[in-house]
Amino acid sequence: MAQAPVIQVNRLSVDRGRRRVIDHVTFNVEAAAFVAVVGPNGAGKTTLLHTLLGLVEPSDGTVRVLGHPPGRDAPRIGYVPQVKTLDRTFPAEVIDLVCSGLTHAWPFWRTQSATEQARAALQTVGAADLATALLSDLSGGELQRVYLARCLVHEPELLLLDEPATGVDATGAADLYELLDRYQADHDATIVMVTHDWNAAYHHATDVLLLDGRCISYGPPQKALGADPLREAFGHVGHAHAMLQGGPPHD
């Protein structure tokens, strides 16, 4: 019997006040897929991610994540929020934040095993030396890596990432996508990543969801990021599309 899709979204609509942010979007994400969600500002990408997490109630349609309504399987999901929302005045060392991914609460005391797991996760993302640094002292790129360590520390089977490469330099971003590819291969994990980086979507994702309130296209990168859908979503395609054609898509 074929495995059920990890995410099933059927005619999902979400309203924010009087504005319809997501309009009748339907798609399935199969196990071990790497889906990139792209689209212009205000396209509903983050709202879609929040709906999958159970943070936003659908106005219409149905959503199932890991076989259940959203919000039921937090321990099986790893989430990387947009780092720009971080409260930098909160007094905390990096290791505390990573441990919160294990305990699903803020640790008052850290157990020895939690500390070791957190250090291992930081090592994985190349941030072992940041363990005792204060959150307030980190650069945007360092913070992204710490959030990724926090997301991976409990070895989730589904990763929901909201612009995980924001503020990361080109080399750092390449490392990050390579890391995600490796994690996915090692754990058979499913990844849904909101990104503005068309190149990353084109070269790392197995499927791309092009969103502009409604679903413009969904499928393999070459098809979903074709000139016509991009023009429909962004109004024009410009130089970006030529850049996309510079290399092969996900292999």
Q: Give me the residues that bind other proteins (CB under 8 A), please.
A: 50, 53-55, 71, 74-75, 77, 79, 81, 85-87, 89-93, 96-97, 100, 103-109, 134
Would you say 92 or 174 has its CB closer to other proteins? Answer: 92
Element (H, E) at 62: strand 60-65
Instruction: Please report how close the Cβ of residue 134 comes to other proteins at its closest, in angstroms.
Output: 6
Instruction: Please report how close the Cβ of residue 27 comes to other proteins at its closest, in angstroms.
Output: 21
Would you say 136 or 245 has its CB closer to other proteins? Answer: 136
Would you say 56 or 225 has its CB closer to other proteins? Answer: 56
Instruction: Please report how close the Cβ of residue 98 comes to other proteins at its closest, in angstroms.
Output: 13
CB-based contact 164:148 (threshold 8 Å): yes
- Of the chain, the end-to-end C-alpha distance in Å amounts to 26
Burial class from Cβ neighbours inside 10 Å (0-12, 13-18, 19+) for residue 229 reads: buried
Closest by Cα among 211, 224, 208 to 22: 211
Phi-psi region of 71 (alpha: psi -120 to 50; beta: other; left: phi over 0): left
Instruction: Please report how close the Cβ of residue 106 comes to other proteins at its closest, in angstroms.
Output: 4
Closest by Cα among 165, 167, 170, 202 to 180: 165
Would you say 96 or 197 has its CB closer to other proteins? Answer: 96
Instruction: Please report how close the Cβ of residue 250 comes to other proteins at its closest, in angstroms.
Output: 27
CB-based contact 22:48 (threshold 8 Å): yes
Instruction: Please report how close the Cβ of residue 104 comes to other proteins at its closest, in angstroms.
Output: 4
Token pair of 231 as six digits: 């023009």
Would you say 148 or 237 has its CB closer to other proteins? Answer: 148
Would you say 109 or 186 has its CB closer to other proteins? Answer: 109
